[in-house]
Structure 1
């Protein structure tokens, strides 16, 4: 059977389908549990969670399913930002704050890397079966500690070189994330521009270069994308945008509506919201800030600076100032319960294989 792959066996799931760990409240416990109960792998997007919030989310998922699930963590980054750069960034954001009726508060964000290590301890304490990483490879001590507890580790790569580094570090599987993917890309080695490789080109090259199972990601929205990925050498797929519009998703209603009505030419790669390139639906904020993109501080500083702007816009129902991440294939997005989506995806693959056999 097509769904019996190296990845599905390692992850103990019926279908080699992983719901991406989308951070920022999209991956509710209800979504994660529903995906896992349907036979795929649900993933908590813990990137911006405190340790207590992650603990609560894990407990809620465990209350909703006894199937395997995972937690996605962001490997911390500590950029050096000068006071003058922060002042300039705040000055550029002040007109936006004014439009939203916010005070002109000039922030000096600080990055607390201790949260990442607290999250790791929570993953261990609550015996989460799978832990994936984005934005780099965690310290060797973290990898050894998790593997000693039997945690299955998944890395993220946007180039063959990054995939090889993930394998060498001890990852059990690696996501080959193509440039079609929505949200932030997992690039961490080399220049971002040179890592803009499409899924169809990236997956087979990664599959040829590493011995660990490869998980295809980026623009995969239906059975055609799943079967194509498996043919290209992947052992599973990771899907984000496809699950963003499900009933259990915690994405803002305006975000869901924007994705469901978007076309392939509406997404852009921008660092205006967070300081790190991410693919999303173009809106007023992106258009206003693009010309100043090179003046903005790197992730996560810019992300912290725009956090209250995004929260205020959400409360006001103003889509022009929301970060509406989306992959390049929004026309195939569906408004369904998560379990129904998983079953439809699997059914679509079955139909495709049946058609091929008939020819």
Structure 2
């Protein structure tokens, strides 16, 4: 019987997690060349930028590629909530001598739409993955029409069943340990979500499509454990962040390889949705989860000037230092070496 990774035409059951803002085509190409499935995050890219990155991937590699997009609903403006958010950030704006009235507009992230589909279609990416559910049926049909395998993230058994029923070809079971944004979409109650080793076997039992394990896996022993619990493949993100092919800042890279990486938390302060990252000054002083943060992704705009001001002083106090709970294998080594380490002794 053909395995998922054979179906995806990759040599190893190792998928690189798409990490918007932290990587681009370079990391995706390196992982694909090493036998895994490289991923290109597109939620923060315009259709033109998306096409340019895809062109770079196709020019450098003939291996399959995973294109990742978000499926969130764009929020309606809420002036009262925005005013509360600005008031909460005002002391730090004063500290850095910044003008709150000059906060730029924009969301920084776009949901998957027909313009994005138009940009992707000429390249016919072999895998298209989604975060926060699935796109509208007409968009999903367009993606499937060119033969793409569709993946989406489930953080609960209920989400896994929903995704299978609505057309996902395989599921990413995202444990609570995973870095970056939670993929939840049916319910935002974080108490309903589990760690990878608890979630994975329950999802495996509940659905008939392939299941990919994600969250807290950073070495071959973790890969072996997930495979033993029924995973068809493994998705890894944090272990790739310090590779030379990633685009993380020097501040982020240093934090990942320091003791600070042992303390991560879910926070909605940087975007408006819970995402796991290394605890920063902003998270400590405002509380990692705050009701004053505007709806996703509107929180980003007012944080950006604070981030830039602090980073100019060499500090990550207001930077989203995304990381999972297991950064123990973050090393400045080529991505191909990370792929080899993940599969060593596990894959015959």
Q: Same fold (TM over 0.5)?
A: yes
In structure 2, how many angstroms separate the alpha carbons of the residues matched to 1:60 and 1:314? 29
1:289 aligns with 2:293: no
1:337 aligns with 2:334: yes
SS of 2:346's equivalent?
helix
Describe the superposition over 1:185-240 as per-residue Cα deviations: whole angstroms up to 9, x where unpaired. Answer: 10001233233210000001001111110000001101011111111111001111
In structure 2, how many angstroms separate the alpha carbons of the residues matched to 1:314 and 1:264? 18
1:57 paired residue number: 53
Would you say the 8 A contact 2:66–2:127 is kept in 1? yes
More helix by share: 1
In structure 2, how many angstroms separate the alpha carbons of the residues matched to 1:195 and 1:106? 39
1:357 paired residue number: none
How far did residue 334 of structure 1 move? 2.2
How far did residue 79 of structure 1 move? 2.7
Query: Which of 252, 277, 281 is the matching residue for 1:280?
Result: 277
Deviates more, 1:37-46 or 1:327-336: 327-336
In structure 1, how many angstroms separate the alpha carbons of the residues matched to 2:289 and 2:205? 40
In structure 2, how many angstroms separate the alpha carbons of the residues matched to 1:165 and 1:88? 35
1:127 aligns with 2:119: no
In structure 2, how many angstroms separate the alpha carbons of the residues matched to 1:251 and 1:291? 22
Describe the superposition over 1:156-196 as per-residue Cα deviations: whole angstroms up to 9, x where unpaired. Answer: 10001101111111111110000000111100012332332
In structure 1, how many angstroms separate the alpha carbons of the residues matched to 2:95 and 2:132? 33
1:229 paired residue number: 226
Matched ranges for 1:205-220 at <5 A: 205-220=202-217
1:43 paired residue number: 39
Matched ranges for 1:25-44 at <5 A: 26-44=22-40
Residue-pair matches, total: 347
How far did residue 5 of structure 1 move? 6.4
1:141 paired residue number: 138
In structure 1, how many angstroms separate the alpha carbons of the residues matched to 2:70 and 2:112? 10
How far did residue 316 of structure 1 move? 4.2
1:244 aligns with 2:241: yes
Query: Which of 181, 184, 189 is the matching residue for 1:184?
Result: 181
Would you say the 8 A contact 2:18–2:39 is kept in 1? yes
Q: 1:286 to 1:200 in 2, by over 3 A?
A: same
1:152 aligns with 2:153: no
Q: 1:7 to 1:315 in 2, by over 3 A?
A: farther
SS of 2:322's equivalent?
coil
Would you say the 8 A contact 2:282–2:317 is kept in 1? yes
Would you say the 8 A contact 2:271–2:297 is kept in 1? yes
RMSD: 2.1
In structure 2, how many angstroms separate the alpha carbons of the residues matched to 1:10 and 1:260? 35
In structure 2, how many angstroms separate the alpha carbons of the residues matched to 1:125 and 1:241? 31
In structure 2, how many angstroms separate the alpha carbons of the residues matched to 1:223 and 1:103? 49
Tell me which stretches of 4 or more aligned residues in structure 1 moved more than 4 Å: 106-115
TM-score by length of 1: 0.90
Q: 1:125 to 1:76 in 2, by over 3 A?
A: farther
How far did residue 288 of structure 1 move? 2.0
Query: Which of 77, 100, 109 is the matching residue for 2:73?
Result: 77
Q: 1:181 to 1:5 in 2, by over 3 A?
A: farther
How far did residue 109 of structure 1 move? 4.4
How far did residue 135 of structure 1 move? 1.4
Q: 1:71 to 1:209 in 2, by over 3 A?
A: same
How far did residue 33 of structure 1 move? 0.4
Matched ranges for 1:240-319 at <5 A: 240-262=237-259, 265-290=262-287, 293-319=290-316
Would you say the 8 A contact 2:268–2:289 is kept in 1? no
TM-score by length of 2: 0.93
Describe the superposition over 1:83-133 as per-residue Cα deviations: whole angstroms up to 9, x where unpaired. Answer: 111111112223223334432226584668676432222121221111100
In structure 2, how many angstroms separate the alpha carbons of the residues matched to 1:107 and 1:253? 25
1:203 paired residue number: 200
